[in-house]
């Protein structure tokens, strides 16, 4: 048996040069220290992304992206298709869990200063991936064409209209017209299953390539402890030791997803009626709540700026700063931990948690 396996691998190596990959994996190691646990978040996010792709493909077999059929097709998936309820519920739960893990992964990387030289581009591609994931969430939310998603999309796309000069154009581009209609649904479907997956694949490939090329970062505090002789530099082989631990996490995530889908199947809601009035207490998905709550607190006008424009400008600026943080906090590359950037991270995390909690409470 082992002989056949070796012969097959040798045949493949002759053609694809997989030996070098095998060699790379054999020598790849993962540092062991008190923060090692955070290394698993990226792998788990990747696992959930794969689940999204697989369940998404299965949903595509029955989903119909038109205003007249979308709701009914999802209802059909939930009630008539064998295990359709499971696939759709896992797709929805996994999406939410993935976004949560993306945030957790991002903040863990931020606080462990893993973005420092030479991993600036790993951070940048990761951030871009996060924006793509949020776009996945926003576009996917509309697809069941229920009342809540319809009005949330209306409010969400309204925001694009406040961008100076090109806002109106963006709004019409996103909606496929002045209002949210069936054209918006078809367009969002296109973004969700073609444009965003393409972008995500490209960014993911770059992100993973960089992670493999540069390896895992050891936090500056651990580096210092090693240099001072307080700790020993320890590591484990990526293959199979780290990968097996990763798989344990993936199995656990699969169990959680299955339990959520079976005990709390994702609800369908009421079919959207574009001529109906917006339901009371309408709000976006939980990951946009901190922005939604901020807009509530902004006064109608600050100096000459409308609150919506001001909010957009602040969040865009904050997002841009966050993306280029490895270049701003360049001192981290020399092992220096700047209090300002640690404080900035604590402020950002605290702000997101506080605003989301306030939005959920009201």
| Shortest distance in whole angstroms from residue 17 CB to another protein | 23
What CA–CA distance (Å, rounded) separates 165 from 358? 33
Burial, 274: exposed, middle or buried (Cβ in 10 Å; 0-12, 13-18, 19+)?
A: middle
Alpha-carbon distance 287 to 266, whole Å? 17
- One character per residue 25-44, x = contact with another protein (rule: CB under 8 A): ----xxxx------------
Distance CA 254, CA 184 (A): 33
Closer by beta carbon to another protein, 236 or else 353: 236
In whole angstroms, what is the distance from residue 71 CA to residue 92 CA?
Answer: 15
Residue position matching structure tokens 């207490």: 281
Please answer whether residues 76 and 87 qualify as being in contact, where contact means their C-beta atoms are separated by less than 8 angstroms: no
Q: Does 241 bind another protein (CB under 8 A)?
A: yes
Among 9, 21, 60, 236, binds another protein (CB under 8 A): 236
Cα–Cα distance between 157 and 154 in angstroms, integer?
5
Chain center to CA of 142? 17
Told to check if 209 binds another protein by CB under 8 A, we report: no
CB of 68 to another protein, least distance (A): 17
DSSP-derived letter for residue 277 is P
Applying CB under 8 A, which of residues 25, 163, 206, 254 lies at the interface with another protein? 254
- Residue 233 found at the interface with another protein (CB under 8 A): yes
Query: Measured from the CB atom, is 86 or 359 closer to another protein?
Result: 86
Nearer to another protein, 117 or 178 (CB): 117
Establish if 214 lies at the interface with another protein (CB under 8 A): yes
By the rule CB under 8 A, 79 interacts with another protein? yes
When asked if residue 78 is in the footprint of another protein (CB under 8 A), the reply is: yes
Considering only residues 82, 228, 232, 273, which one is a binding residue for another protein as defined by CB under 8 A? 232
Number of residues binding to another protein, judged by CB under 8 A: 40
Helix axes 196-214, 40-60, angle to 10 degrees: 150
- The region of 160-168, 248-256, 281-289, 340-348 touching another protein under the rule CB under 8 A is 248-256
Answer for the pair 97, 48: CB distance below 8 angstroms, yes or no: yes
Binders of another protein among 259-298, rule CB under 8 A? 259, 262-265, 267-268
Instruction: Rank residues 159 and 210 by Cβ distance to another protein and give the closer one.
Output: 210
Of 307, 272, 295, give the one whose Cα is nearest residue 152.
272
Between CA 347 and CA 220 the distance in angstroms is 21
Could you list the residues that contact another protein (CB under 8 A)? 29-32, 75, 78-79, 85-86, 119, 214-218, 223, 232-237, 240-241, 244-245, 247-248, 251-252, 254-255, 258-259, 262-265, 267-268
């Amino acid at each position: 048996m082992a002989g056949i396996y070796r012969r097959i691998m040798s045949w493949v190596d002759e053609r694809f040069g997989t030996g070098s990959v095998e060699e790379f994996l054999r020598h790849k190691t993962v540092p062991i220290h008190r923060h090692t646990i955070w290394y698993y978040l990226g792998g788990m996010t990747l696992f959930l992304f794969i689940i999204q792709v697989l369940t998404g493909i299965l949903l595509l077999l029955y989903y119909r992206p038109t205003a007249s059929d979308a709701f009914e097709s999802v209802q059909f998936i939930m009630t008539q298709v064998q295990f359709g309820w499971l696939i759709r519920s896992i797709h929805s739960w996994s999406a939410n869990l993935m976004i949560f893990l993306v945030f957790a992964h991002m903040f863990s990387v931020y606080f462990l200063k893993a973005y420092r030289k030479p991993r600036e581009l790993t951070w940048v591609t990761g951030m871009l991936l996060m924006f793509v994931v949020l776009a996945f969430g926003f576009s996917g939310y509309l697809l069941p064409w229920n009342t809540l998603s319809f009005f949330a999309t209306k409010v969400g796309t309204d925001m694009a209209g406040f961008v100076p000069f090109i806002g109106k154009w963006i709004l019409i581009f996103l909606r496929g017209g002045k209002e949210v209609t069936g054209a918006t649904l078809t367009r969002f479907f296109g973004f969700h299953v073609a444009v965003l997956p393409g972008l995500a694949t490209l960014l993911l490939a770059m992100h993973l390539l960089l992670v493999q090329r540069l390896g895992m970062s050891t936090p500056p505090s651990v580096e210092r402890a090693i240099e001072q002789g307080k700790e020993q530099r320890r590591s484990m082989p990526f293959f199979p030791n780290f990968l097996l631990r990763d798989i344990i996490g993936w199995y656990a995530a699969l169990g959680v997803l299955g339990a959520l889908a079976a005990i709390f199947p994702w609800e369908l809601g009421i079919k959207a009626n574009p001529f109906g009035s917006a339901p009371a207490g309408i709000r976006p998905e939980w990951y946009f709540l901190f922005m939604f709550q901020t807009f509530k607190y902004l006064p109608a006008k600050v100096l000459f700026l409308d609150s919506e424009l001001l909010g957009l400008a602040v969040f865009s600026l904050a997002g841009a700063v966050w993306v280029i943080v490895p270049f701003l906090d360049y001192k981290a590359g020399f092992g220096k931990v700047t209090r300002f950037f640690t404080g900035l991270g604590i402020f950002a995390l605290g702000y997101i948690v506080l605003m989301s909690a306030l939005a959920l409470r009201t």
